[in-house]
Structure formats: structure tokens, C-alpha cells
Structure 1
């Protein structure tokens, strides 16, 4: 559907065939990003990998992400962080169950993903009052990234955004994050000076102090990327990890647990699979996950039914092109409605139903190879953090259902659970998910 928002042509894509044309057939033409005022304010003039325009700069910083920060080897090296944080969450839930206290899963899962990303990116967690402030900043940041800015489409009405206070709020949040990023980078620089590290010691293969900031500082020091990496790039890429790694992952886990509580038969199948691979062990380890096809089906079905980012980050055409018989002018913004595509009744049987079995004997994946379900995008602009996100999704979900039975407080039936959604960049539950956990006897 081709629309005009003010002076800007906008193409809304709601079919898998059209999405394939955009993200595969003509991927290079649609590989750029539009200039967005909010991204310029809160993402260092769009110097991050998600918002920067297609070109040499974007290729360079994406290479850093793919080769140094989010490679499969790098993600695997962080397994102890994931397993330790999952074990801490399981202990907290167990303690609550002994006291017959319900668990606010929405809050607990948000804290967990935040802690995992903080340890991976910064080497430490933010707890107590600092942690609460950090989460508050993250929530505000995410809300701002999903804001509609009328000046992006009708420049002469940009004054409305100014008087609404949105720009002032964005600048305040950007300043808060920049102060935090500066403090973090300085901490790492001072620590490295104290350790007297060799300039040739690659922190990505070191046992200690090998978080993302360490890796970026090593790249800067050794010119390992083959181009200058300044302080702004370090801060922008670190911020990208937070935005992409925390909110979307906690959103997925929140909806996955919602669906499992609503469908106890699915939870039982997943628990049986966990028992088969783990035996009498309390914890499911990462090496067990490769033997859990039903878990992977549950993950895929959750990502289909509850796409964390329902409208993928907008693209922009870099030249005139014919698409499905229509003339698409250069500068057209393209919005891919991943939510609608994943629920298209022309392709999916009972698209509104939660049926993990649909993926058991299917070659469909969620990693950009099939355009009927693209939670991470596809093509050149595919999210580079897929391996990181999936590793967290699987280990957390597997242990939540392996170690506990779950039900709603007061014996309320799971199928009565309120499924209202928030509106924004990510689609959270409108009402936090609160449930009662009962330790399982393994």
C-alpha cells in the first residue's frame, strides 16, 4: 500500500511476497534508513548500526558488530553469564514459591535481560537504586524511539513537536545516557591502564574483562577494524546493544510465558522434553538445547504470534524502482508490517492460534531466510544480534518451565488471561504477567 504522509511517500508492506522483494530481490535499493529527527537526537546523529544510512560507514560499523561483538563464537563465550543469571532468577522464583508469593514475571524477566546485557556489554550489573534508574532510562529511551515525529513528514509542522516537549525530553534522556556511556568508557580505560594490558591482547579471547566495551577499546587501540574508531562509535554501538538486546528479549519471554500459561498442554510437552534431556538435573544447560526441538518450535511460534517489533525499522529506497508493477520513487520510506505478515491467513493455518507443532516438521526459520516470519528482519539490514537473542530466549524459557509449574493466582484459568498489548516500538503486555510458581520434582 503506497501512502503519502505529508510530502513523504510511504510504502507499507503486509505480504511475504512483497517483503521478499524489499529485503532480498531489491535489498540493496532498500538498504538505507530515512533521516529521523529522534534517531539523530538519541543515537549520536544516527551513528549507530541500526539507524545509520547505507554506505561505507554503515558497512564498517556493521563489520565490527558481526565479527567482533556478536559473532557465534563471541556469543558462545558468554554462556557463563547467561547460565549464572538464569540460576539467580530460578533461585529468586524458588524462594517466592516457598513463601507462596506470586511472581511478577514481566518485571523479573525485564531485570534478567537487563542484567545479562549489562554484564555482556559493560562487565557488570546495575543493582539497587542505580538499577532502578537505569531501567527507567531504558523504558523512556524505548518509548522515544517509537515516537511519531510529525516534522519527519511535514517539516513546517515541526514546531508542534517542539512545543509538546518531546524534543526537550529526548535531549534530556540522550544526555543521561551519554553521561553514563562516558563514565563506563572511562572506567574501562582506567582499568586497562591499571592492568597494563598489551596492545595485542584481544579481549574477545580473554577470560577476564572481555565485555563489549573492552573489545571496542581494543579495536580502537589496535586499528583491528582497519578504520578509525572514535569515542562516539564506541558509545553508539554499546547503546545499540542495550536497545536491541534488552527490551525485545524481555518482550519475547513475557509473551512466551503468557502463551504457555494459557496452553498448559503445550507447557506439559515442553516440560516432558526438558525432563528427557536433563534427566534428574535441576538446571537445563546450554548444551541440552540442541536436543530440544519442541522448545525451538515454541520459540518460533511465539516470535510469529508476538513479533517483538511489529513494524520493522523503516527503510528508504535509494533510487527509482518498479515493484510489483508500481513505480516506487527514490526517497520512499518502506515500513514492513511483520505482525500482519506473520498472521496472514493465506499462508498460516489458524494464524491467531498458538500452535508450536506447525514448526516441528517445517524448514521455516526466523533468521531472515523465510519471509513469512521475519522478527529480526532480513537481508543487509537483518539484526546482527540474532545469535545473542536466541541464546537468551532458549536458556531462560527452558529453565522456567523445567524447574516450575506455572498458574495464575487464585486458581484463575489461564485462558482468561488478559492479552491486551501496549503500543510502541515494541509490543509488551499492557498488564504485567503475574503468576504462581510451584517447584517441580525432577
Structure 2
């Protein structure tokens, strides 16, 4: 049996970063992952360039960018390790990067640069710590005793007074996602918030969807919303029609808030007084059909889908009844439709839900009733918006945990 100050299960974004932070503080760390490849989710993110953080994150009001049973839980970690801190680390490693829109930062070259940086950080520092990696190494069992946590693996037994669970969650099973972290939480008596796919395309069927089923590949800016009253949430982003439904940033964002069986509302011409513009076109005496007038504000294929089954809209707009034009504008501004589901975990970028934050310290990520056991990253019930927020949660929660871990003679 080999002994370490800490064992980290999961060599993704959170696990790698936590191991590096702890090693640079002088701790001996064992990092275990069942996959032969490091950080596959980093590698495929952002089209292969890794949207590694977001400048617009405001740690003073994390509920603006994160959801969960307690959105405020993430405030402490995010305030102590900010996007600026991670950007400075990226700069120190000489990684060229750029900002797209809405504060999103990407690598210029490849997501591989971030992975190599995290590996380099695991090399330890002046304090003499180190990270040993066991890769393509399955964890068979985890036990706890007065001596600490004993982990039974393909490479044999390992023991540490502290165990960090950074296993991720259920999204994208083809790159190795499992429920292992959730099972460990249950084993040690922690509660779970029911997981579901997040940042995921939504699917539709039925007669109401039929006119739009052939629009795959069409994209346009929209305002999409769901919920009611104070719980109503909206995003102004691009929407993409797919063969099975809707995707694009607008839909991925709203999917994390959407509840099964409830509708979403889409404004296909946001910021446009469509009713007034159609009325103005009619008053001008235009002989164009309503469908042709619509193409000034939306793609022609979408305009055709909206007007194809309405005879009143097949004639010149000057002859179209005012009621038909008003109804058309209202339906375009509030296209309400109910998804029959989503593309599921295979297409979901994140998992909503996870380890209940009531059972964790927001300062250290340690389980309140199970000393020495920590949960970080996606396995926790903290889910960010699209655009680098989830990676920033990985870095911040990992840093909080890595700073809290102690050498064996001081642990527990």
C-alpha cells in the first residue's frame, strides 16, 4: 500500500488543477483516472480551443451566471480565485489567447495548451510536493477508517487522510462520463440534487413542429425564455434549427432552466416592432406578399414556414387583413412551443444537479459530516452558463480545495 497526503479521483479540469495547487504547497498527491487520456472535456471544448474562462463573471453576484439549489454557494470560491487569476496563470505559461464576444476567452492554438499547462503545474514547486498519476486505472472500492481513505484500484491499494472527488458527472459518456462521483457521495451519506442534462439541444415533434422540421442548418438571433413570474429567465443569443429540434447558444442556455413538460417562448425578431412595420408596409400600398416583407427581418426559409399555411398571407400585403398581420407579428414575437425532451447526456455540455451544496463547506468543498472528503467541479450542484463559466467554477472550486488540503501530519 502506498500512502499520500491526498488522493484525487478524476484527472479533468478540476482534478488536475487541484492536484497542482496541493503539490505546489508541498503535498504528495495521487491523481487517479479511469481514462487513458487526460482531460478529454478540455480537449474537445470550444471547438478544440477551450473557452477557459469568462471576463464578465461577477463573483459578488454568482446567481447571475450559475444555477443550483443554492446559487450563492459558489460565491466564496469564485471570489477567492477569479477569472483574472486564471488569466494570469495562462499568461505566465505563455499561452496565446483571445476574447470572443461576451467576455469569452479561448486559446489561439489549441485546448492542448491548457492541458499542458495544468500538467506542468502538477510538477510541484519550491515546497517539494509532487503528483503521481495513475491513468487508465479504475477505482474498485473506497473505504474509510481512522487511518484515512483507502482506495482499491487496478494499480493496487493507496491511502490518504484526504480524498478529493473530481470525477465530473454524466455529460458526454463517450469520453468517459459516469455516475461514479454520485455513488461515492451516496456511500458517505451526502445528499444529491437529481441530475439532468444541461446546456443541451432540445427536441420537438408533432404537428406543430412539422412546418419547421426541414429548416436544419438555419440560424438567427433570438430572445428565448422559459418559466414564469420572478422565475422567468431569458437569453438573447443565436438559435440554430437542427434535424431533431433546436440548438445554438440560445437553446443551450435556456435548456439548463427548462423543466420537462413546460414551454419555451422564442422571439424570432427581438428588438423589432414587427406589427408596426407590417402595418407600415400595408399603408404604403406595397404589392409584395407578406412572406416577402418578412424576409427583411428573418431568413426567407423561416418566413415561408410561418406563412405557408395562411391564405391571408399569400396575397399582396396591401390586401391582407389587419387582424392577420397583427396575429402574425404576435406569433413571431412569442413563438411558444413545448420540447418533447432533449438530446440527453450524449450532447449535454454539463450536468445540472449533483452533490447537494448543503452538505459541503463553501470555503473548502469539504463534506460537513465526513472529514477529509472533498467534492469539486461538475460533480457538485453548481452549473454555470455557456461561455467559460463552468471552467471557472472548476478552477475556483479546485483552488479552494487545494488550498485547504493539509500534509498528512496535520490532516484531519
User: Could you tell me the TM-score, scaled by structure 2's length?
Assistant: 0.23
Comparing both chains, which one has the higher relative contact order based on Cα–Cα distances under 8 Å and sequence gaps of 6 or more? 1
More strand by share: 2
Larger radius of gyration: 2
More helix by share: 1
